[in-house]
Every structure is written in structure tokens, then in C-alpha cells.
Structure 1
Amino acid sequence: MTGTASEAARALLAADNILILTHRRPDGDTTGCAGALCRGLRQLGKTAYILENVELTRRYEGLIAPCYAPADFVPDCVVTTDIADYGLLTDNAEPYRDRLDVVLDHHRSNAMAAPVRVVRETAGACAELIADVLDEMGVTLTADIAECLYIALSTDTGCFRYSNTTPDTLRIAARCLEAGVDGGEINRRLFEVKSWPRFQMERIIFDTMEFLMDGKIALVIIRRADINRTGADMDDLDSIASLTRQIEGVQVGITITENTDGTSKISVRTTKEVDASAICAKCGGGGHLRAGGASLSCGPDAARDQIVDAARQVYAESELA
């Protein structure tokens, strides 16, 4: 069962000493949602903090780092934003695994449990749900809250280009602009400006991209040696999984990133013909219809075999087969 934004708002209004959790490898949606919600709760006089995320990159640092909880903070209410599975909890969030009070998400594969659980699968970004919760609580959309929401919306929809963009996405983005957000500058910073390491990594990706099934599947392995050689960090690799889907004729884009410990992170991006979450589910992951992910304990070459096999199976099961 999934609840409503109104139910989430009532639970948060009745609570205090609130701690908000973000997921591993934090993106613009989880950080933007947490930043907006925390600032909104503080506007209402609540004591609210965000749990520190050690994997936070400089791109999203300003959204949540100023709201980090002190080491001695003891929450009475624990909230998750944009976290689809317990495996995405950061190490320091593990103590709260069995005491979540409010789950706010938009992944249809969500497996989290809480007394109040709101999963809006139709939302292009979790920020759409957060915006509704803030409205239900009577929060005023100030410029700083709007900036958090706008970044969450724009990053999860590829600057409003992806098919997951909804009318609500654009309506809320418009409200953010009306609140004083400089959307043009945010979009330029997030989607146009590239660091030299990012430029080098993109060149490596296009040089090494592999095509399968007559060009319907594009696959790239981002090896740790290349990351180290270029000096790229997680901020440089943000949203890099979208590159595989840019090639004409590609319906399944697969990006495998080798982690520092030799394990593999898999990102899948698809066109409207194929279900990305179904592919990732076969490897223990999940996600959305057009974007999914999974983590495998093996190296990237073994991970390649597993995810390609999963992609072939899902493709065969689709009406395109």
C-alpha cells in the first residue's frame, strides 16, 4: 500500500527532531528533495537535519551539506527521500534501517517499509511528491527551497528532455522560476559545462562503446584505470550513463562502472520500447521504466555478461521480439 502527500504532511507536522536520509551515490533528486524538505520543515519551526552523505559530490554540496545533523543528534522521526531499496542506504544510515517513519519516493521498484509510505510511480522526479508535501504542510516556496526542487526536477528528467517529464514536472519548475530561481544558469552549470576529466572520459566512452543485437544495445565499461588516469571523480561521472542512449538506433544503453573495490555499478537507460527496471531486476536491482540500476559484487567483465544476458531476455520478452 502507498499513501498520499496529505498523509505524509500530517505525519511530518505531528513530528519533531526529524532526520532525512539520502541514498548512496547521491544525485540531484535525492539531495534536492532532502534539501527542500529540510528547509521547509525548518520554516515551520521544526528541528530538522539531513544525515551526512560521505559520497556527496561538489555539484550538490550546497543542497544538503549546510543542513547536516550534528554528531549527537537523536531523531524522533526518520524520513527517506528518493531511496528505493535498503541496499541504497549509506553506511551511517544503517542504524535507522528498521525505524523509518516516512518513506517518500517515486521508484516503482521501491521495497522500503514505514508507517507512512508514499511512492508516486508516475512522477518524473521525487521532487514532484516533495513539492506536494511542502504545499500540504503550508510551506512558502522561497528561493532557496525552489532551487533545491528545480535541481531535483531538472537532473532526474535530463533538463526536462526525458520521457519521464510530466505536466507536473513543468508546472513545479515554473513555480520555482517564479520564486526567483535562475533556471538558465542552473541548466548551463549542470548540463553544458564540462570539466577536462569529464571531456576525457566521454572520449574514452565513445571510443570503446560496444554494440550488440544489430546496434539495439550499446554498452560501455568505465574502468577504474581510466578514471584514475584522467583524474575524474564522481562529480565528473554524474549522469554519464545517458551517453549510450544518444546513438541513433540504440534502444538499450548499458554503462558499467568499476568501483574502487573491484565491484560493478550498472546503469541502464532505454527508449520507450524496453523496460529498464525489468532488465536491472534480473541482476538484483530496479528503477524506472526508462532508467534503472544495479550493483554486482563481481568485476566489470563478469558484470557485462550478466547484464547483457538480462537485456537480451527482456528484449526477447518484449513485443519487439
Structure 2
Amino acid sequence: MNVTVQQAADALREAGDFLILTHKRPDGDTTGCAGALCRGLRALGKTAFVLPNPDLTPRYGWLLEPLAAPEGFVPGYVVSTDVADTNMLPAGAEGYAGKVDLVIDHHRSNPGFGRLNLVRPEAGGCCEVIYDILAALGVALTPELAEPLYVGVSTDTGCFKFSNTTVHTHEVAAACLATGLDCGELNRRLFEVKRWQRFQMERIMVETMEFYHDGCIAVAQLRRADLDRVGATTDDLDSISGLPRQVEGVQAGLTLTENKDGSVRLSVRSTKEVDASSVCRKLGGGGHLRAGGASFPAGVGMEEAKRRALAATEEAYRESGL
């Protein structure tokens, strides 16, 4: 059942023993959501934990590490934050696929897999929805809550540069700053400081980038051999998929990344001419209007993945009349 912010807040107020789920390859929004919601529920005197995510890395791990559910914890109420579908639940969370009490999300492709579903595609980041829920619950915004909320809204909007940035995005950010949050240092940490290995991967992407559809489609490939050679980690690849879209004239930037097990995943970043989520849905994934992702089945190598990704993008172009 679809619910409003107030209905979601009422459901949380009546429940207890919360377990909060994040998604595979957690980014700033899912970790920010979980961190803020967990702290907010605790401020109400509730017992709340975040399910440990094996994909969590140091880049965002500091937001959740103090909130990890202890072994053997039996939840009374399960909430997913920024999880587009059950196939995005990380290892260890699969058993909750049919047991989510409340889905809080902003992905257009979310099928509503919870008992209650609050999905707001117009939100720039899912943390905007969390902010509204906490306000409806009467939770005071403190610096401890502001930090994860700001991380979520800023990272999912590209530090407020992407087209999904709204008036409400800035209102949430302003409320966070009003608590005394040092956004300058946080922005530098999130958006400016890069390891040398990240620069090396950007160089490889630029040198090997290919262009199609009269230069409107750019394809970058991150091969496992290159990642291992330069010593790049998952954190080094955070938001790197936005690079192809920065080339003048590119409307759809496709980034193919080879995982350690040889499988390939796709990230799509687009301009107003292309629906990124439409491209990814054709490949079994999903996402937002300007950002989406999909994973290819085992056995599909980089070249075949590129062929399928290009075919899906070309089909999306035909559907849009371009």
C-alpha cells in the first residue's frame, strides 16, 4: 500500500525494534538515510539498528558503523531506505526481501515491494524523504542528524549540480547548515579529495572512451586488469560514472565496470534527451530519469555487455524520437 509521509511517520511511531536496510554498493544517500533514520528513531527512545552491509566501504562507513545491528538481533519492524527493488538488497539481507514493512525510496522504477511504500520520485535524494518523516515525527534536527542527511542530499544531486536538485533539496540542506554543520569541510571530503588511483582510472577512461550516435553516446570501460594494476578500490570509483557525460555533446554516458568475479555492471548518466532509467530497465535494472544502473548475468563479458548497453540506448533514442 502506498502511504504519505504522515502515514509513514505514524507507522514508525507505533512500531519498535527497527532494522534498517541499505542497498548493494551503498552510496551516500542510502547510508545517509539509514544513519539519519536510525538516529532519529533512537532520539524517540526506540530500539533501532542498521543491518551490516558487506559492501560498505570507509568512504561512507563512518556514517553507519556505530549503528550496526548486533548478531542475533530479531527485528520487530523492517525498513528499507533508498533500495529500488529487492534485487538491490546486499548479501545477508536477501531473507528480508518479502518482509519489508516500510519502503522509503525515490526511484521511479521502485515496484513497491514493502507492506507500506513511500516512494517520491520527485525527491532529489531519498534523504529528503527521511528529513520529512523525521519532521513529522517531531524529531529535533541536531548536528548528528544533519550530517548524514546532508551527505545524502548532496551526493545524490552531485553537490546540487544535477537536474534532480529541487527547492526542497536546498531547504533540507539549509536546515542542516542551520545546526552549525561545517559543509565546507564535508564538501571537500566528499567531492574534492581523491586518491591518486582515482586520477589514474579517470586517465584510462578518457584515453579509451568511445563515441557513438554522432557523438551523443559515450562508452567508458573499467576493466579489472586496469583496476588491479593501479590499485583502485570501490571508493575510488564513487561517482566516476559521471565523467563521460561531461564531454560536450554527450547525452548518454555509459560506464561498464568489470567486477572481481568477472561480471559486468552498467552505470548510465544522461542529459534531458535520454531517460537513463528506461535504458537500464531494458537490461533488467532501473534508476532515475538522469541516472540508472544494471548488472549483466554471469558469463556476459565486457564486449557483449557493451553491445547490449548500446542497443538499449539506441532503442531509448528511437522511442524518444531522437
TM range (shorter): over 0.9
Structure-to-structure mapping, 1:143-162, within 5 angstroms: 143-162=143-162
- Counterpart of 2:82? 82
User: How far apart in 2 are the matches of 1:299 and 1:19?
Assistant: 37
User: How far apart in 2 are the matches of 1:157 and 1:27?
Assistant: 12
User: How far apart in 2 are the matches of 1:189 and 1:226?
Assistant: 25
- Counterpart of 1:244? 244
User: Contact 1:11–1:116 at 8 Å: present in 2 too?
Assistant: no
User: Contact 1:86–1:111 at 8 Å: present in 2 too?
Assistant: no
1:140 counterpart letter in structure 2: A
Q: Does the residue aligned with 1:91 lie in a helix, a strand or coil?
A: coil
Q: Deviations over 1:243-281 (max 9, x none)?
A: 010000000000000011111110000001110000111
2:179 counterpart letter in structure 1: A
Q: Deviations over 1:99-122 (max 9, x none)?
A: 110000000100242221000010
Q: Does the residue aligned with 2:3 lie in a helix, a strand or coil?
A: coil
- Counterpart of 1:5? 5
- Counterpart of 2:267? 267
User: How far apart in 2 are the matches of 1:134 and 1:271?
Assistant: 33
Q: Does the residue aligned with 1:63 lie in a helix, a strand or coil?
A: coil
Give the TM-score normalised by the residue count of structure 2: 0.98
- Counterpart of 1:42? 42
- Counterpart of 1:304? 306
User: How far apart in 2 are the matches of 1:90 and 1:285?
Assistant: 15
User: Contact 1:104–1:117 at 8 Å: present in 2 too?
Assistant: yes
User: Contact 1:33–1:82 at 8 Å: present in 2 too?
Assistant: yes
User: Contact 2:54–2:91 at 8 Å: present in 1 too?
Assistant: no
Post-superposition offset of 1:301: 1.3
User: How far apart in 2 are the matches of 1:115 and 1:305?
Assistant: 38
- Counterpart of 1:230? 230
User: Contact 1:82–1:105 at 8 Å: present in 2 too?
Assistant: yes
Structure-to-structure mapping, 1:153-232, within 5 angstroms: 153-232=153-232
Matched, 1:102 2:102: yes
Give the TM-score normalised by the residue count of structure 1: 0.98
- Counterpart of 1:93? 93
Which of 306, 315, 318 aligns to 2:320? It is 318
1:31 counterpart letter in structure 2: T
1:314 counterpart letter in structure 2: A
Percentage identity across paired residues of the two chains: 57
1:42 counterpart letter in structure 2: R
User: How far apart in 2 are the matches of 1:131 and 1:151?
Assistant: 12
Q: Give structure 1 stretches of 5+ with no counterpart.
A: none
1:30 counterpart letter in structure 2: T
User: How far apart in 2 are the matches of 1:315 and 1:47?
Assistant: 49
Q: Deviations over 1:28-54 (max 9, x none)?
A: 000000000000000000000000011
User: How far apart in 2 are the matches of 1:230 and 1:164?
Assistant: 33
Q: Does the residue aligned with 2:29 lie in a helix, a strand or coil?
A: helix
- Counterpart of 1:113? 113
2:315 counterpart letter in structure 1: Q
Post-superposition offset of 1:2: 2.5
Say what the alpha-carbon RMSD is for the aligned residues: 0.8
User: How far apart in 1 are the matches of 2:137 and 2:74?
Assistant: 23
User: Contact 2:18–2:76 at 8 Å: present in 1 too?
Assistant: yes
- Counterpart of 1:256? 256
Q: Does the residue aligned with 2:186 lie in a helix, a strand or coil?
A: helix
Q: Give structure 2 stretches of 5+ with no counterpart.
A: none
User: How far apart in 2 are the matches of 1:35 and 1:131?
Assistant: 12
User: How far apart in 2 are the matches of 1:302 and 1:111?
Assistant: 28
Q: Does the residue aligned with 2:151 lie in a helix, a strand or coil?
A: helix
1:301 counterpart letter in structure 2: E
